[in-house]
């Protein structure tokens, strides 16, 4: 039987324990955070922080900011809008890829486990390297492509056509914030991420295929006509289950496949 083992320098070890609580603290919570720095030769570790919930806000991101400001200033993570709009604070929380700014601490039982998005190189601590996924996004050319002369003002759309992008409930493909929670939860992307475009990028491709103002549908489908770029999706549905915006990348990929078939009929 084959036996597999991680390289010694990738095995996660127990880290340090920090506490900002006093004997008078009434509401405590332990936050366990993945830590790794490229500045030394140390293995990754998991540090534990005991925090006073009365001293920080209710969200996981609030806890991380509290830790960085009051306990350990070396902790590194991305964040920006704090409103579930920018996608910067995407990470794996309690075993699920989601946004730290919209994940409530009360939704998690017991210790809060936080690690970076899986199957991406780590820049430092909770910051993943998104260079590859951004390159894949650029490859589908996510902008309006037209051949007809530009109008005097904007290119208009009917409400019905706009709903193809936005969705009646605001859950259309245009609502994607490119947090890449979906792609990094996809087993097909884990194993074929060098060739498979992944749910996030394919959702963006679907967004431009559905845009009635765009005039490059054939060209866009040609770009995706490949055994790996599109067809590595096996409809496992992890992408849809984990999307913090409630979108359905799996359905979008299925719609692209339907367009591929219909243009050959």
Cβ 200 vs Cβ 107: under 8 Å: no
Q: What is the DSSP string of the chain?
A: -------GGG--EEEEEEE---TT--SEEEEEEEE--TTS-PPPEEEEEEEEGGGS-SBHHHHHHHHHHHT-TT-------SSSSS-TTEEEETTEEEETTT-BGGGS-SSEEEEPPTTS-EEETTEE--HHHHHHHHHT--S----SPPPSSPPP--HHHHHHHH-TTS-SGGG-----TTGGG-HHHHHHTTT--HHHHHHHHHHHHH-TT---HHHHHHHH-STTTTTT-----HHHHH-TT---HHHHHHHHHHHHHHTT-
Q: Which residue has the tokens 């486990």?
A: 113
Question: Which residues on adjacent β-strands are paired with residue 122?
Answer: 128
Question: Rounded to an integer, what distance in angstroms lies between the CA atom of residue 186 and that of residue 128?
Answer: 16
Question: Rounded to an integer, what distance in angstroms lies between the CA atom of residue 64 and that of residue 216?
Answer: 44
Q: Hey, how many other C-beta atoms are within 10 angstroms of the C-beta on 237? A: 15
Question: Rounded to an integer, what distance in angstroms lies between the CA atom of residue 208 and that of residue 55?
Answer: 45
Question: Rounded to an integer, what distance in angstroms lies between the CA atom of residue 246 and that of residue 93?
Answer: 17
pLDDT tens digit string along 51-95? Answer: 999 999 999 999 999 999 999 999 999 999 999 999 999 999 999
At residue 15, the pLDDT reads 93
Q: Which residues of the chain have pLDDT under 70?
A: 1-4, 6, 265
What domains can you pick out in the chain, each with its CATH number?
11-128 (3.10.20.30), 131-142+159-262 (1.10.1060.10)
Question: Which residues on adjacent β-strands are paired with residue 33?
Answer: 47, 114
Question: Rounded to an integer, what distance in angstroms lies between the CA atom of residue 173 and that of residue 199?
Answer: 11
At residue 10, the pLDDT reads 79
Cβ 18 vs Cβ 47: under 8 Å: yes
């Amino acid at each position: 039987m084959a036996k597999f083992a991680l390289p010694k320098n990738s095995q996660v070890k127990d880290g340090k324990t920090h506490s900002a609580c006093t004997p008078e603290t009434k509401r405590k919570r332990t936050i366990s955070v993945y830590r790794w720095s490229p500045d030394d030769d140390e293995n990754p570790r998991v540090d534990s922080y005991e925090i006073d919930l009365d001293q920080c806000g209710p969200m996981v991101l609030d806890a991380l900011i509290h830790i960085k400001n009051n306990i350990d200033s070396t902790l590194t993570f991305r964040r920006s809008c704090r409103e579930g709009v920018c996608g910067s604070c995407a990470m794996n929380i309690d075993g699920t890829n989601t946004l730290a700014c919209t994940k409530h601490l009360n939704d998690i039982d017991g210790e809060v486990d936080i690690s970076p998005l899986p199957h991406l190189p780590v820049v430092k601590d909770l910051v993943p390297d998104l260079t590859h996924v951004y390159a894949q996004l650029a490859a589908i050319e996510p902008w309006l492509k037209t051949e007809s002369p530009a109008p005097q003002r904007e290119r208009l759309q009917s409400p019905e056509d706009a709903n193809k992008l936005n969705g009646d409930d605001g859950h259309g493909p245009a609502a994607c914030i490119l947090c890449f929670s979906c792609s990094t939860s996809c087993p097909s992307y884990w194993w074929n991420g060098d060739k498979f475009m992944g749910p996030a990028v394919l959702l963006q491709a679907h967004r431009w295929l559905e845009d009635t103002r765009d005039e490059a549908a054939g060209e866009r489908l040609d770009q995706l006509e490949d055994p790996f770029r599109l067809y590595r999706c096996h409809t496992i549905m992890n992408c849809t289950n984990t999307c913090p915006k409630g979108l359905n990348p799996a359905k979008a990929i299925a719609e692209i496949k339907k367009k591929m078939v219909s243009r050959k009929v």
